[in-house]
Amino acid sequence: MPRSENPLRSELFPDIVPYASGMLQVDSRHTLYWEQSGNPEGVPVVFLHGGPGAGSAPVHRRFFDPAFYRIVIFDQRGSGRSLPLGDVTDNTTPHLVDDLERLRRHLGIRQWLLFGGSWGSTLALAYASRHAERCIGFILRGIFLGRDNEVQWFLHGMRNIFPEAWREFAEHLPPGERHDLLAGYYRRLTDPDPVRHRAAARAWSRYEATCSTLYPSARGALEADGGGFALALARIEAHYFVNRVFLADGWPWRDINRFRHLPCTIVQGRYDAVCPPVTADELVRAWPEARYVVVPDAGHSALEPGIRAALVNATENYRLSRYSSDLFLPRFPWQE
């Protein structure tokens, strides 16, 4: 059953700036942006952004107490400030898991807390499936497991809740292509002609943004760079959806015993139309040790007031649980 919250803090922490940042070359093609903020000697936490392809933002540092956490934020392949932007070559879930492990080693971190929402929850669980010994816990939001029914819900099911947004999304394609929205969009998003791929990216990202909050609001910021961030989001998402997010059938159920002993908080908006609660419910039934918080008046976005408060509360709960335990720090040498 979902657990009720006993709020510790409901507001984001103040703005901070990174104390270190850089670009990590992970292969001959891709270079990842990374940054660290907060306490260099604190408990490491890595922020895994959504999408895939959405990228990170300065506001994401503010979910964490900077006096306690060593906050690691990075942009996944093709996303945000990573280069080349919007590139889907050698861009798969196993590549992203390997990148995350390479970043951990690069920063000299022995173990870390994984904080991820939507696609970020997928990546956190995929990483834990292979590197459970490097994880100290999880804070997950808006659970997405990348299964066919979840992708079909995104492409078609959200029509039941947001018919106007879906109609605009579908009608970007000519009538003869609307029987397969994913294939039609993928052709346009990977078309080299900027006229075709940028228009498709705007339509895709506007659809997703409109459906991501309890009160619909298209997010124009994705187009602020002339469409580059919108293109990265839409193209990379479509690439992953076409390829069944590069995860095998039966995942993550066969792997969950590798990490279910670790502390986990799952935050879910009751009216999340992008990643409906049924998926989080399935995960919690397989992982009953997890702390499950359903926010009654929220959709999908991490920045909706109720979701935001629950996530900050989760990071504070983790902080207090570490302070109250005699296992704090002496048992966890964070730096190698």
* 3 state SS of 135: strand
Q: For this structure, is 95 an active site residue?
A: no
* Alpha-carbon span 238 to 220, nearest angstrom: 20
Q: For this structure, is 300 an active site residue?
A: yes
Among the listed residues 118, 121, 205, 212, the single catalytic one is: 118
> Does residue 84 contact residue 25 with C-beta atoms inside 8 Å?
no
Q: For this structure, is 179 an active site residue?
A: no
Q: To which H or E segment does residue 267 belong?
A: strand 264-269
Q: Provide the b/e sequence for 177-186 (b: ≥16 CB within 10 Å).
A: eeeebbebbb
User: Considering just the CA atoms, what is the radius of gyration of the chain in Å?
Assistant: 19
> Does residue 29 contact residue 89 with C-beta atoms inside 8 Å?
yes
Among the listed residues 65, 205, 272, 301, the single catalytic one is: 272
* Alpha-carbon span 90 to 10, nearest angstrom: 40
Among candidate residues 211, 214, 47, 38, the one with its CA nearest the CA of residue 140: 47
Among the listed residues 172, 205, 300, 301, the single catalytic one is: 300
* Alpha-carbon span 242 to 252, nearest angstrom: 19
Among candidate residues 288, 1, 335, 290, the one with its CA nearest the CA of residue 121: 290
> CA separation (Å) from 254 to 251, 291, 312?
6, 21, 30
Task: Tally the residues of the chain.
Answer: 336
Structure tokens at 82: 């990573």
* Alpha-carbon span 230 to 170, nearest angstrom: 17
Residues identified as active-site: 118, 272, 300
